[in-house]
A = this chain, B = another copy of it.
Amino acid sequence: MAHFKPELLEQLIEVRGASGNEENIRDFILDYIEKNKKSWKSEVTIHSGEGFQDAIVLIFGKPKTAVFAHIDTIGFTTAYDFNLIKIGGPKTIDGMKLVGSDSQGEIETELMIIEDDEGHKSLKYVFDREIDRGTDLTFKPNFNLTEQYVQTPYLDNRLGVLNALTIAEDLENGAIVFSTYEEHGGGSVGFLGRFLYDKYNVHQALISDITWVTEGVQHGGGVAISMRDKAVPRKSFLNRIIAIAKENDIQFQLEVESAGGSDGSMLQDTDLPFDWCFIGAPEDNVHSPTEKVFLSDIEAMMELYGVLMKELN
Q: How many Å lie between the Cα of A265 and that of B297 in the bound state? A: 37
Per-residue B-contact encoding for A46-87, CB less than 8 Å = 1, 0 else: 000001111000000000000000000000011111000111
Query: Given A77-B256, A85-B228, A134-B254, list of 14 further CB < 8 A pairs?
Result: A23-B236, A51-B203, A51-B273, A77-B228, A79-B257, A80-B215, A80-B216, A134-B228, A181-B268, A185-B231, A186-B268, A186-B269, A187-B231, A191-B272
Asked if A38 CB lies within 8 Å of chain B CBs, one says: no
Main DSSP-derived SS at the A contact region? loop
**Would A78 and B256 be within 8 Å (CB), given that A191-B272, A272-B190 are in contact?**
yes
Residues of B within 8 A of A231 (CB): 184-185, 187
Q: Is A6 an interface residue (CB 8 A)?
A: no
Known: A133-B254, A254-B133, A256-B78. Contact between A23 and B235, CB under 8 A? Answer: yes
Contacts of A203 in B (CB 8 A): 51
A227 and B134 within 8 A (CB):
yes
Distance of A78 Cα from B257 Cα, bound (Å): 10
CA distance A191 to B197 in the complex (A): 11
Q: Which of chain B's residues have a CB closer than 8 A to the CB of A230? A: 185
Contact A235 B20 (CB under 8 A): yes
A256 touches B188 (CB 8 A): no
Contacts of A256 in B (CB 8 A): 77-80, 85, 133-134
Using Cβ atoms and an 8 Å threshold, which residues of chain B touch A191? Answer: 270-273
A258 part of interface (Cβ distance < 8 Å): yes
> Which chain B residue lies CB-closest to A234?
B20
Tell whether, in the assembled complex, residue B272 and residue A271 are in contact, meaning their CB atoms are under 8 Å apart: yes
* Interface residue? A109 (CB, 8 A): no
The verdict on A275 contacting chain B, using a C-beta distance below 8 Å, is yes
Assess the A79–B190 pair: CB atoms within 8 A. Answer: no
The residue on B at minimum CB distance from A85 is: B258
Q: Which residues of B contact A188 (CB under 8 A)?
A: 273
Least CB distance, A115 to chain B, in whole angstroms: 17
Q: Whole-angstrom distance between the alpha carbons of A271 and B181 in the complex?
A: 13
CB contacts (< 8 Å) of A219 on chain B: these are none
In the complex formed, the residue of B with least CB distance to A272 is B191
The residues of B that contact A307 with a CB separation of less than 8 Å are none
At the interface, yes or no: A21 with Cβ under 8 Å from chain B?
yes
* A19: contacting residue among B23, B232, B271, CB under 8 A: B232
